[in-house]
């Protein structure tokens, strides 16, 4: 089968979840004997953060045949002026750039690669393929978050592409109705993210000199919110001198990272709260942990959370956070608490003081992630791809 992946987002040296899913998808389909091409759109040049199989045909729409198609300065200014006032209008500038300057490259590469099926990573890519080019190649539109966002913060011109897709994939069962409520006839399937199944999981029963609370995620103030973990731990640190916090993840904003360091100093936590940076060995980080905390305001799936649970760590998150409140089953594999610092501190206190509870929740957390094993998820994707090609 000839499969094209269309991810019209940044890919160069990007450690984020979308880049990881894209590269994992390409590598696995190559491993299963398929021919794979990857289209992406990045103003930067360079390699990928994650290793990509050399058999994948890679095309950066902005850099073709030695040339560089860049967004005009006036478009960049317009996008940044709009960003604080309207996310969808700001995103629409990117769509206008794609439509005006890159459409011919997409057409050319479709003809050159001749895929049997296209997997699109976002509505913007689906719109280019299904609305602007009107390809008759079946397009599966992936969702990497809550698709309800499509109808609020994405450009309106992208929405028809959701309905035109051969299939829309969502990550969690609750997300199905968010598309079906608008487009009842559209086929929607649930396929979660791949979660590693670790042969050697964490051992929460052993006695330690130091116990660790782990956070892994991009350092983003209004999304992942690691500052809430710092503030919650500050309420407990004096009574738990044998506990520390490790905050892992890529910097998204220098000012916010500086603010995190400032909070650590303000609360006198330099000894026990550490900003660690990026890791390529997530498993080793998780294996040293005792509790995983993800204080996000929202999530599309929460891959770092799922990986931590698969490692056997009990987890804490907010009950009003989408996706997190489906992965964490309260009082079974972790704790869901009300939003805010005080509630998070209380949830932490419960697990920090009760090793037996950590062991119990951790064991169930590992078992609850088995449904996202690579074998199960990739089999579901391969079956969907084959069904889509045969139905076309």
Per-residue pLDDT of the chain in tens (392 residues, 90 and over written 9): 999 999 988 888 888 778 889 999 999 999 999 999 999 988 788 889 999 999 999 999 888 777 788 888 888 888 888 888 888 888 888 878 888 888 889 999 999 999 999 999 999 999 999 999 999 999 999 998 889 988 888 888 899 999 999 999 999 999 999 999 999 999 999 999 999 999 889 999 999 999 999 999 999 999 999 999 999 999 999 999 999 999 999 998 899 999 999 999 999 999 999 999 999 899 999 999 999 999 999 998 999 999 999 999 999 999 999 999 999 999 999 999 999 999 999 999 999 999 999 999 999 999 999 999 999 999 999 999 999 999 86
- Are 2-194+373-391 and 211-371 in the same CATH fold? yes
| C-alpha pair distances (Å), 285 with each of 201, 291, 363 | 12, 12, 18
| C-alpha pair distances (Å), 128 with each of 62, 70, 107, 158 | 15, 18, 10, 9
Quote the radius of gyration of the chain (alpha carbons, Å).
22
Handedness of CA 231, 232, 237, 238 (dihedral sign): positive
Cα gap 320→297, rounded to integer Å:
8
Cα gap 176→169, rounded to integer Å:
9
Single pTM value for the model: 0.84
Cα gap 328→112, rounded to integer Å:
45
Cα gap 213→316, rounded to integer Å:
10
- Supply the pLDDT for residue 43: 77
Cα gap 148→145, rounded to integer Å:
9
- Supply the pLDDT for residue 51: 93
Torsion of CA 263, 268, 272, 273, to 10 degrees: 0
Residue 302: left if φ>0, alpha if ψ -120 to 50, beta else—which one?
A: left
Cα gap 346→344, rounded to integer Å:
5
Strand pairing report for 63-64 and 67-68: antiparallel
| C-alpha pair distances (Å), 262 with each of 227, 256, 269, 337, 348 | 10, 10, 10, 26, 22
| C-alpha pair distances (Å), 327 with each of 277, 340, 369 | 25, 20, 8
- Residue 259: its H or E element: helix 254-266
- Supply the pLDDT for residue 15: 80
Determine whether domain 2-194+373-391 maps to CATH 3.40.50.2000: yes
Nearest to 349 by CA among 217, 239, 202: 239
- Supply the pLDDT for residue 268: 96
- Supply the pLDDT for residue 87: 80
- Supply the pLDDT for residue 392: 67
Domain coordinates in residue numbering, the chain = 2-194+373-391, 211-371
Superfamily of domain 211-371: Glycogen Phosphorylase B; (3.40.50.2000)
- Supply the pLDDT for residue 71: 85
| C-alpha pair distances (Å), 12 with each of 24, 52, 98 | 15, 12, 18
């Amino acid at each position: 089968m000839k499969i094209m992946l269309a991810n019209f987002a940044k890919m160069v040296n990007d450690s984020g979840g979308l880049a990881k899913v894209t590269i994992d998808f390409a590598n696995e389909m190559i491993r299963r004997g398929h021919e794979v091409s990857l289209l992406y759109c990045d103003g930067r040049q360079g390699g990928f953060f994650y290793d990509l199989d050399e058999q994948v045909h890679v095309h950066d729409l902005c850099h073709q045949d030695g040339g560089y198609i860049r967004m005009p300065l006036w478009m960049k200014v317009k996008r940044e002026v709009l960003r604080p006032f309207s996310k969808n209008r700001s995103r629409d500038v990117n769509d206008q750039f794609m439509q005006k300057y890159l459409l011919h490259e997409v057409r050319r590469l479709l003809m050159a690669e001749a895929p049997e099926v296209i997997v699109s990573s976002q509505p913007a890519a689906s719109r280019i393929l299904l609305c602007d080019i009107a390809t008759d190649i079946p397009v599966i539109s992936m969702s990497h978050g809550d698709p309800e966002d499509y109808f609020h913060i994405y450009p309106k011109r992208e929405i028809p592409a959701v309905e035109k897709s051969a299939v829309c994939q969502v990550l969690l069962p609750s997300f199905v109705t968010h598309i079906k409520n608008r487009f009842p006839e559209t086929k929607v399937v649930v396929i979660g993210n791949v979660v590693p199944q670790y042969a050697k999981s964490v051992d929460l029963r052993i006695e330690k000199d130091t116990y660790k609370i782990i956070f892994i995620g991009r350092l983003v103030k209004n999304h992942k919110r690691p500052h809430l973990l710092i503030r919650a731990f500050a309420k407990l640190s004096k009574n738990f001198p044998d506990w520390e916090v490790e905050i892992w993840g890529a910097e998204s904003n220098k000012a916010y990272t500086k603010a995190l360091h400032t909070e650590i100093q303000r609360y006198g936590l330099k000894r026990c709260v550490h900003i660690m940076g990026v890791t390529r060995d997530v498993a080793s980080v998780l294996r040293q942990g005792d509790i995983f905390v993800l204080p996000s305001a929202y999530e599309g799936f929460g891959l770092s959370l799922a990986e931590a649970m698969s490692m056997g760590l009990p987890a804490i998150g907010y009950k009003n956070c989408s996706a997190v409140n489906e992965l964490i089953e309260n009082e079974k594999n972790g704790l869901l608490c009300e939003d805010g610092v005080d509630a998070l501190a209380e949830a932490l206190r419960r697990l920090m003081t009760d090793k037996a509870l950590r062991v119990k929740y951790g064991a169930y957390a590992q078992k609850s992630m088995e449904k996202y094993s690579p074998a199960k998820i990739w089999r579901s994707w391969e079956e969907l791809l084959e069904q889509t090609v045969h139905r076309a």
